[in-house]
Structure 1
Amino acid sequence: MADLTYPLYPIFAFLGFFLSLVPLPWHLQAWNSGTCYFMMWSSLACLNQFINSVVWHNNALNPSPIWCEISIRILMGASVGIPAASLCINRRLYHIASIQAVSVSRGEKRRDILVDTGICVVFPIVYIALQYIVQGHRYDILEDLGCQPALYNTLPTYFISYMWPILIGLVSAVYCVLSLRSFIRRRVQFNQFLSSNKSLTAGRYFRLMALAACDLTFTIPLSIFIIWLNTVATPIAPWISWEDTHFGFSRVDQVPAVIWKMNHRLVIATEATRWFTPLCGFLFFALFGFADEARRNYVKAFWAIVRPFGFKPTPIQPGRHFVSIG
């Protein structure tokens, strides 16, 4: 069965990988750890999807078991890593809007980074490790999609795997609402704080809020849809024992597209999930890739590249409003 999304999807996935990383340097300089983790998880997920969509185009072979072991864990980690990064962004925005936990020293900044690292890195690693409890066999390979986790559809799977994106999204939504309320109530103090803060402008604050709000509008409905799909697509099997769940664990199911695309609900869920990944990269770049600080950094990068070839910016003379090269 022909893949109608090829080569469009690999192109978008690779662009999502690249565009997610473009604003990373200046966000690292500003110590925006939640934002940086959002970029890292988005770019890693996009790169993973790009490789899978190219290697497994029109085939369901198993040429690289080691890569599949890595790939399914990237998929698992990104499923909670991106919402967790959004949670950290909303959490920081709330603290800024309420003017109660804004970093004023390097020690406080380090503590904020450690908290964000625990939420965005340590928690996804623990989440990935826990998936082994409900992993029925090594992995599946779906033609045109590549490596996919093989989670056994039992009741514990919903608590160990499926519920976490929803819980993270709900906590993030609470922070988002509290941020808006605090901003409206304390707008004058908020503006005074921003005027004295070098790493955060009003424009960047509202772009971060827009990013987190957009992530929420996709994460929670998509997670609920996936849970519903798993409950109706196949019967929920009873949890019998560890040995029963992991019986024949070394098996790898290789599924042709003509088989898995017969389930229209599965097609919708799969396509929505994998297109969500490059969408995160494009959304982030749309919000931050054209901002004032981004354009300034593009100019710096341009002159850093062309300077070894003898080009350099000409200082602007009084009364002139252009820059030439010479």
Structure 2
Amino acid sequence: MFDPSYPAFPVLSFLGFVLVLIPLPWHLQAWNAGTCLYMIWTAVGCLNLFINSIVWSNDAINRAPVWCDISTRIIVGIAVAIPAASLCINRRLYKIATVQSVSVSRGHKRRAVMVDLAIGLGIPIAQMVLQYVVEGHRFNLWEQVGCYPATYNTPLAYPLSIVWPCVIGLISAVYCVLTLRAFMKRRAQFSDFVNKNSSLTVNRYFRLMALATTDLLFTVPLSAYSIYLNVAKSPIYPWISFADTHGNYSHVDQFPAVLWRSSHETVVSLELSRWLMVVCAFVFFFFFGFADEARRNYKAAYWAIAKRLGMSPPSKLQSSISHSYNIKAPVRSKPTMDSISTLPVYMPRAITTPTRSSFSTRNDDTFSSTFSEDFKFPATPSSSSSSNDSHGHLPRAL
């Protein structure tokens, strides 16, 4: 059966894989854990879907079972990984919005990164492990789509696997609302606050708010819709035992396109789950790939290549590029916080000097905020992956 998305999907998914990784180097330099996790998970998801769409573009033959074992685990992890990365971003955004004084502590910055890694890596890994409990069989193969996990549609599958993208999205939405509320309360102080912090501008802050609002508007509705598809459009079977669920576990269901495309709900679930991954990549690049810092990096990379070809930038442009990256700094020989386009570490007004190197999530502790110059703590549309099973369970919408 003709695939209306071919070759558009493999082309755009690979392009999304490349584009979403472009801002990664300077975000790694700035210790932006939440945004780095978002970029890495989205890139892995796009690459995984790209490979699947190429290998199984014309059939559903089980020609690479080991790859499908890996691919389905990636899909299960990304179902919660992108919402978790968005939660890290919104959580840090809230901390910035509710503090006022400035302090620098490398220990606090490391502690903040560790907390973000525990959320952005720990939750997806736990999801991959728990998914095995409710897997009806090894995996499913869908022609024109590729490998997808096979979740047995039983009541136990919902607390262990299906509802977590929505739960994480709700927590992220709470942080988003609290951030907006904190901003509304301190509008009168905001101009003065911005004037004292050269790395933050009003425009950048409002773009930040727009990203957080986008997360609030899209994450929870899409996750709730995927739950609706599983509950209303597929039979729910009683949980009997682990052995019953994993009976004939090595079986692989194979679905030709002419079969699954005849079901509107299945088409919506599968296509939504994979296309939203590509949309996430392009949306992220839209917000970060055209920022001032990104344009400076593009310019520097262009002239680095041009110099090898015998070209040299105009003197004024060369001076501007050198100044942007603190090349030939007259006083300091090492890059400072400003030279890598990061915000300082913020702490409540009542605390002026950090007294310990530990980090607490309470509002009376210091917080690390090391985000890029133009978009600190973005919130992008979250996603969840799809899953299905041989008992009529539809794949989860992304």
Normalization by structure 2: what TM-score?
0.76
SS of the residue 1:253 aligns to: strand
| Partner deviation per Cα, 1:223-274 (whole Å, 9 max, x = no partner) | 1111111122221100000100000001111110111122211111211111
**The 10-residue stretch of structure 1 (230-239 or 191-200) with the greater mean CA deviation from structure 2:** 191-200
1:105 Cα deviation after fit? 1.4
Deviates more, 1:186-195 or 1:286-295: 186-195
Residues in 2 aligned to 1:111 and 1:196: alpha-carbon distance in whole angstroms:
26
Separation of aligned partners in 2, 1:25 and 1:198:
22
Q: Which residue of 2 aligns with 1:12?
A: 12
Which secondary structure state, in structure 1, belongs to the residue aligned with residue 111 of structure 2? helix
Any gaps of 5 or more consecutive residues in structure 2? 318-398
Distance 1:101 1:198 in 2: 14
Alpha-carbon distance, 1:215 to partner:
3.4
Aligned to 2:226: 226
Q: CA deviation at 1:30?
A: 2.0
Alignment check: 8 A CA contact 1:96 1:190 kept: no
Contact 2:180 2:209 in 1 (8 A): no
The alpha-carbon deviation at position 298 of structure 1 amounts to 0.6
Q: Which residue of 1 aligns with 2:61?
A: 61
Distance 2:138 2:88 in 1: 32
Q: What whole-Å deviation, never above 9, does each CA across 1:135-168 have from its counterpart, x for those lacking one?
A: 1111000001100000000001011111111111
Equivalences for residues 65-80 of structure 1 within 5 A: 65-80=65-80
Q: Which runs of 5+ in 1 are unaligned?
A: 318-326
Deviation at 1:42, TM superposition (A): 1.0
One-letter identity of the residue aligned with 1:149: P
Q: Distance in 2 between matches of 1:147 and 1:103?
A: 49
Deviations 1:39-91 (A, max 9, x none): 11111111111111111101101111111111111111111111111111111
Distance, in Å, in 2 between the alignment partners of 1:34 and 1:26 is 13
Task: State how far apart, in whole Å, the 2-side matches of 1:180 and 1:35 are.
Answer: 20
Residue 111 of structure 2: aligned partner = 111
Residue of structure 1 in register with 2:237 after alignment: 237
1:7 positional shift:
0.6
Would the aligned equivalents of 1:225 and 1:269 in 2 still touch at CA under 8 Å?
A: no
Output one character per residue of 1:68-117: Cα deviation in whole Å (capped at 9) or x when no partner: 11111111111111111111111111111111697731111111100100
* Cα distance, 1:200 vs structure 2: 5.1
Q: Deviations over 1:161-199 (max 9, x none)?
A: 111111111111111111111112123544555455566
How do 1:8-157 residues align onto structure 2 when only pairs under 5 Å count? 8-99=8-99, 104-157=104-157
Task: Give secondary structure in 2 for the equivalent of 1:155.
Answer: coil
Deviates more, 1:78-87 or 1:27-36: 27-36
What is the rounded CA distance, in whole Å, between the counterparts of 2:35 and 2:192 in structure 1?
Answer: 23
Range 180-189 or range 137-146, more displaced: 180-189
Q: 1:197 to 1:84 in 2, by over 3 A?
A: farther
Cα distance in 2 for partners of 1:297, 1:20 equals 15
SS of residue in 1 equivalent to 2:236: coil
Aligned to 2:246: 246
> In structure 2, what is the Cα distance between the partners aligned to 1:173 and 1:19?
26
- Mapping of 1:253-268 within 5 angstroms? 253-268=253-268
Letter in 2 for 1:89: I
- For residue 294 of structure 1, report the CA deviation from its aligned partner: 1.0
- 99-108 or 181-190: which moved more? 99-108
Counterpart Cα distance in 1 of 2:154 and 2:101: 42
Change (3 A) 1:75 1:216: farther
Q: Secondary structure at the match of 2:141?
A: strand
Q: What displacement does 1:205 show?
A: 3.9
The answer (yes or no) to whether the contact 2:20–2:42 under 8 Å persists in 1 is yes
2:306 equivalent in structure 1: 306
Cα 1:295–1:17 change in 2 (3 A) is same
Moved more, 96-105 or 24-33: 96-105
Matches within 5 A, 1:148-167: 148-167=148-167
Change beyond 3 A, Cα 1:163–1:235: same
CA contact (8 A) 2:176 2:216 kept: no
Among the aligned pairs, what percent are the same residue? 57
* Contact residue 95 and residue 102 of structure 1 kept, 8 A: no
Q: Where does residue 183 of structure 1 map in the other structure?
A: 183
Moved more, 169-178 or 97-106: 97-106
Contact 1:87 1:171 in 2 (8 A): yes
Partner AA of 1:271 in structure 2:
E
> Relative contact order: is structure 1 or structure 2 higher (C-alpha 8 Å, sep ≥ 6)?
2
Please tell me whether the aligned partners of residues 93 and 205 of structure 1 are also in contact (alpha carbons under 8 angstroms). Answer: no
Q: Determine the C-alpha separation between the residues in 1 that align with 2:198 and 2:4.
A: 47
TM-score (norm 1): 0.92
Is residue 211 from structure 1 mapped to residue 182 from structure 2 by the alignment?
no
List per-residue Cα deviations over 1:263-320 (Å, max 9, x = no partner): 2111112111111101011101111111111111110111122222222222129xxx
